[in-house]
Structure 1
Amino acid sequence: MAIPSSYSRTEKSGDCVICLDKIQKKKTLKCLHSFCSDCIDSVFNLKPACPISTPSTECTPGPNQRAPWRCLEVGRVCQASNTPEHPNPGVRYSSTSRTAFLPANEEGEKVLRLLRKAFDRRLTFTIGRSATTGLNNVITWNDIHHKTSMGGGPQCFGYPDPEYLLRVQEELRIKGVTDDD
């Protein structure tokens, strides 16, 4: 599986592909990919594998193995003033970054293309009230669900969730994001 070009650009710039900021306390893996020490440690708590050196899509899991996964960079929103289309123009909000996971298979790749299209159209995030923290004027998901954990099921925003790929494609379709456009 090819590494998405956004990973290559981020890594070449000296940024950590996990947090998307300049690498802090650099840790380099055997595969020679480098990350912030804290970032890669948190990834390894979920899955002890480099998030860039992903398994090939030709690898198929055995009967007791998990499917290979891809880490999806869903973007970083820099701290800035709200623009007129936001709920509170002129009010500052903090930056954030999110990491999402998709299965490394044909349908996962299709969803990845659609999610990138949604992100490019500025449909992935909005400014509003966080359902998790209750804070106002923060970056929130914009009704396009992402799997931010590889485990724990839907209640932990993770897998297994057999209907997720169909459900997220329907959420994207409602927002006008399809393969046809």
Structure 2
Amino acid sequence: MSNIDSISQDDGIGDCTICADDNVKLKKLLCCGFLICEACAGKHFASNSKCPSCLKKAVVLVDGNQPRSSKMEYQVDSSPLPGYSSFGTIVIDYFFPDGIQEAEHPNPGKPYTGTMRRAYLPNNPEGRDVLDLLEKAFNKRLLFTIGTSHTTGQTDCVVWNDVHHKTSRTGGPTSYGYPDSDYLRRVKDELAAKGIK
């Protein structure tokens, strides 16, 4: 068995070790048998990849807490990105309508503000590999969460969840753009930390 295990989906009814609620639907951490309810699992694993009990083994949550009502689309255009002059560009669009927070979010039952985000990858073999990984992470609800925007200070809105994207074609790393020769490796490392390989 690898040193990164998944959480089995529905492990029954019992007491959550974190919040002590009883009769809640539990998920069991396979690395050490630690029991945690879905709400606490969503909150804990939104910002931490270690088991809250043994702290030694990385645990991958089957699903994150990204809002369920969302869509990811991409297209390819022929214009190159700085540093990738021989390749076109993959343009990724993420769509999140406004909604109501669920149990795993910071303020369950309260409205949240949706968003639309655009990101860019080079249309080369490594860029297409990263696109596949991003799609896997999106489908596991790991790329976004609900929180406070670092740029605007707005609360209860859809925000990035620690997987960096290039949201500008140009400007280099300080402007979230290209050229950035190390970006594709870094983003694969960030995705691997969330169990996406």
1:142 aligns with 2:161: yes
* Aligned-residue identity in percent: 45
C-alpha distance in 2, partners of 1:64/1:146? 16
Structure 1 distance, partners of 2:84, 2:147, is: 42
Task: Give the secondary-structure state (helix, strand or coil) at the position aligned to 2:77.
Answer: coil
* Higher helix content, 1 or 2: 1
- After the TM superposition, which segments of 4 or more aligned residues of structure 1 sit over 6 Å from their partners? none
Q: What code does the residue aligned with 2:159 have?
A: T
Q: CA RMSD in A?
A: 2.6
Q: Does 1:87 align with 2:106?
A: yes
In the alignment, structure 2 segments of 5+ residues that lack a partner are 1-70
- Distance in 2 (CA, whole Å) between partners of 1:91 and 1:126 is 14
Tell me: CA distance 1:150–1:143, structure 2 relative to 1, closer, same or farther (3 Å). Answer: same
Are 2:67 and 1:72 equivalent residues in the alignment? no
How many residue pairs get aligned? The number is 124
- Higher RCO, 1 or 2 (CA under 8 Å, sep at least 6)? 2
Give yes or no for the alignment of 1:113 onto 2:132: yes
* Mapping of residues 6-85 of structure 1, within 5 Å: 52=75, 54-55=77-78, 65=85, 67-73=87-93, 75-85=94-104
Question: Structure 1, residues 122-150: CA drift from partner, whole Å, max 9, x if none?
Answer: 10110011110111111110000000101
Q: Which protein is bigger by CA-based radius of gyration?
A: 2
- d(CA) in 2 for partners of 1:64 and 1:171? 22
TM-score w.r.t. the length of structure 2 is 0.58
Distance of 1:99 and 1:140 partners within structure 2 = 13
Quote how far apart the aligned CAs of 1:66 are.
Answer: 6.3
Partner in structure 1 of residue 184 of structure 2: 165
Match of 1:99 among 118, 133, 146: 118
- TM-score (norm: length of structure 1): 0.63
